[in-house]
Structure 1
Amino acid sequence: MKKIKLIQLALVACIFILSSCSSDDKQPENPKNYVLVHGAWQAPFVWQEVKANLEKQGNKVIVVELPGHGDDHTSPGAITLDVYKQKVIDAISTIDGKVILVGHSLGGMIISSVAETMPSKIEKLVYVAAYLPVSGQTLKELADTDRDSQLGAEGALIFDTTAYTVGVKPELIVNLFIQDGTPEIQNLVVKNYRIEPLIPFINPVTLTEQNFGSVKKVYIKTLQDHVVSPYLQNKMISTGKVDAVYEINTGHSPFLSQPKELSSILTKLAAN
């Protein structure tokens, strides 16, 4: 009798433990390969919490460090959009099977170009507050159409055509990129800020319906964005033949201000 009671108690304990597990820790039935691409004036550090969340669920995740960012000190004059593209292609080439390719901000230009080059390797393109171009467009041309972007305000950007760089006024960094973050996160963004290579902003993309057009596209709108405004996001969604749209109520850097929610969206869109 005592043995039966012990078995019953053990079963109850197991049920309690299983039911108390977070849904975020639930292993996906079909683990995915994610490749995450950061945007301008940022680096791989911005994706680290999202990466950890996705890996906890059994997925494989690669965060690309773009040349001229983070710990990479490639000369800005040697960096083009094609250089960025090749770095992402190299990362994807290390993975067996297809990938969910995620780009933030400037990263949208890069992942679009990658999809044109290797569409058969891309399961989905995911644009997180990202530039979604049509063929022939440059990032600068797209950004110039954003009537509500605070990044486009007079004097916000500092150009150095001799050094091939573009910077942001230091006092504007927090408000532009992470106005909704904690003080600790805001300090992290400021601490890791670096001036940006200029040439990729004026390199056009060439996209075809046969290649780029064949890849499924998902857009994650950031509703409080001061850099790529909701106005421009909606405009790009309407012209970009997007298959699905998700929303997150954050500024330009949801991976820092709401990493858990963004991770949840990335998991959800992978299953749909």
Structure 2
Amino acid sequence: MAEGKKQIHFVLVHGGCHGAWSWYKVASRLRSQGHLVTALDMAAAGVNPKHLQHLNSFSNYYHPLMKFLEALPPDGKVVLVGHSMGGICISAAMEKFPEKIAVAVFVTAFMPSPEFNVQTILKEALTLATMLVRPAKLFHEADWLGEAPLSKQNYCSVPRVYIIADKDNLLKPEFQTWMIENNPTSEVQTISGADHMVMFSRPQELCFCLQDFAEKYCRL
């Protein structure tokens, strides 16, 4: 890392049907810049041994993220990044651990808020396609964010930014824009030529965006 530059801790949360492995291109680039990177497997995803049929709620699914953030020291602020369905996971984390998150980055992701709930977003979204490796599970609407609904006091205290993938055929750009219009963020960046799996189609550009956001918000 260049002299005088602060090491930033990025925590990467994958989308539905994927795992920590999906971040390998981005993680290797960020680490090569001297940053600390943690890519997590949610429950019943990637190499996590839990079975899908044993997940009783969506909060069970994102429990590995909550456990990780709970274990961070009080001064251990991270840049929390969520892709696709991972946006719901990081939203729950923002509510529970706002003091541990320097900035939340939604990468072509679902982005609820206290007044813009998950059910509204899912009704607007296109039917999700079956993708790779592990099946996803849709839960009862009351289970998405667990026992702690998003609040202005916690969730809204964390800076939020959004990265639009302009060639996303799953979460269409107009859908991403609709979410941002209904739940405005501090900043928005668009990655040209990026499809839904932006970490594969435009990994270098995604890293530039993540570092740009991180350097700005970690100084605050």
TM range (shorter): 0.7 to 0.9
Are 1:81 and 1:199, in contact at CA under 8 Å, matched by a contact in 2? yes
Matches within 5 A, 1:86-165: 86-96=63-73, 97-135=76-114, 137-138=117-118, 141-146=120-125, 149=126, 152=127
Displacement over 3 Å in runs of 4+: 25-28, 93-96
Structure 1 residues 202 and 130: alpha-carbon distance in aligned structure 2, compared to 1, 3 A threshold? farther
Q: Deviations over 1:89-135 (max 9, x none)?
A: 22223444101100000000010011101100010000000000133
Aligned to 1:244: 187
**Alignment-mate amino acid for residue 151 of structure 2:** T
**Alignment-mate amino acid for residue 120 of structure 1:** E
Cα distance in structure 2, aligned partners of 1:29 and 1:200: 45
Does residue 43 in structure 1 map to residue 11 in structure 2?
A: no
Structure 1 residues 213 and 59: alpha-carbon distance in aligned structure 2, compared to 1, 3 A threshold? same
Cα distance in structure 1, aligned partners of 2:34 and 2:3: 6
Aligned to 1:53: 29
Q: Deviations over 1:240-260 (max 9, x none)?
A: 230011111211011111111
What RMSD, in angstroms, separates the aligned Cα atoms of the two structures? 2.1
Structure 1 residues 27 and 245: alpha-carbon distance in aligned structure 2, compared to 1, 3 A threshold? farther
**Alignment-mate amino acid for residue 260 of structure 1:** Q
Cα distance in structure 2, aligned partners of 1:202 and 1:41: 21
Q: Which runs of 5+ in 2 are unaligned?
A: none
Aligned to 2:211: 267
Deviation at 1:34, TM superposition (A): 0.7
Matches within 5 A, 1:65-84: 65-79=41-55, 80-84=57-61
- SS of 1:193's partner is coil
Structure 1 residues 269 and 29: alpha-carbon distance in aligned structure 2, compared to 1, 3 A threshold? same
Does residue 34 in structure 1 map to residue 10 in structure 2?
A: yes
Cα distance in structure 1, aligned partners of 2:60 and 2:3: 36
**Alignment-mate amino acid for residue 193 of structure 1:** V
Are 2:20 and 2:46, in contact at CA under 8 Å, matched by a contact in 1? yes
Are 1:31 and 1:60, in contact at CA under 8 Å, matched by a contact in 2? yes
User: How many percent of aligned residue pairs carry the same amino acid?
Assistant: 27
Are 1:27 and 1:57, in contact at CA under 8 Å, matched by a contact in 2? no
Matches within 5 A, 1:191-210: 192-199=132-139, 203-205=143-145, 206-210=149-153
Count of residues in correspondence between the two structures: 208
Are 1:218 and 1:243, in contact at CA under 8 Å, matched by a contact in 2? yes
Cα distance in structure 2, aligned partners of 1:65 and 1:41: 11
Structure 1 residues 265 and 143: alpha-carbon distance in aligned structure 2, compared to 1, 3 A threshold? same
- SS of 2:62's partner is helix
**Alignment-mate amino acid for residue 252 of structure 1:** H
Q: Which runs of 5+ in 1 are unaligned?
A: 1-24, 158-167, 174-191
Structure whose residues are more often helix by fraction: 1
Deviation at 1:28, TM superposition (A): 6.8
